[in-house]
Structure 1
């Protein structure tokens, strides 16, 4: 899964993204489970290029580690600027580190649960019991 983190609506968005990028690179659990890169892109609605963090996540547990590291980064800041996560064209702007914000982040980053399989025809008809009344 590819995740992009940006802060294009902030004047100092590039500084915010660079700060979060450094934080994530220093977190051994995050760095071990995903590829973390600082990139420069033109985003819809942004003037010029913006800095963003490109993350490639290969394991579901990495999503939880990312959420925990994000919450710790937010808690370590006196003023916590908003950041936007984008996954598969779906964006979520986070402006805090409350339990609800972290849950929203995990929900966006978690793969959907598998659909239940349709019931098949079953094992077939019950065999006749020769000892039952009316049996053979």
Structure 2
């Protein structure tokens, strides 16, 4: 994972479905599409599973400005969700888990990732 790569994971029974939904949301955002590469990350199947499972979304960003765009896209997507999954954003060694959609948490993500990239 490079310094400009953010990995997004979710927990819960519907994690794969919610990751796919957020991935589609990101792919429909013109600013994200133009300034980031968005891909899905799969994990090998467990013994009881028939196929691979969606593990994370990976974004490769062009610059730290895109962290703010990602945060805005995330908030807009999260607002549409009836169930609000626990989401983890990881960039290098820095990991932030979001359980609420409050403004302070979002500011923390932007500031932390901005400082981490400098």
Q: When the two structures are superposed, what TM-score results if normalisation uses the length of structure 1?
A: 0.71
Q: How does 1:40-51 map onto structure 2 within 5 Å?
A: 40-41=42-43, 50-51=54-55
- 1:68 is paired with a residue of what secondary structure? helix
Q: In structure 2, what is the equivalent of residue 24 of structure 1? A: 26
Larger RCO: 1 or 2 (CA < 8 Å, sep 6+): 2
Alpha-carbon offset, residue 49 of structure 1: 5.1
Deviations 1:37-60 (A, max 9, x none): 011137xxxxx8542101001112
Structure 1 gap ranges (5+): 43-47, 115-136
- 1:103 is paired with a residue of what secondary structure? helix
2:65 to 52, 61, 69: 61
Q: In structure 2, what is the equivalent of residue 120 of structure 1? A: none
Alpha-carbon offset, residue 99 of structure 1: 0.5
Does the CA-based 8 Å contact 2:42-2:55 persist in structure 1?
yes
Q: In the aligned structure 1, how far is the partner of 2:16 from the partner of 2:81?
A: 16
Q: In the aligned structure 1, how far is the partner of 2:116 from the partner of 2:39?
A: 26
Does the CA-based 8 Å contact 1:87-1:108 persist in structure 2?
no
Does the CA-based 8 Å contact 1:18-1:51 persist in structure 2?
no
- 1:14 is paired with a residue of what secondary structure? helix
Normalized per residue, which structure has more helix? Answer: 2
Deviations 1:68-88 (A, max 9, x none): 111111111122111111110
Q: How does 1:1-136 map onto structure 2 within 5 Å?
A: 1-7=4-10, 9-41=11-43, 50-112=54-116
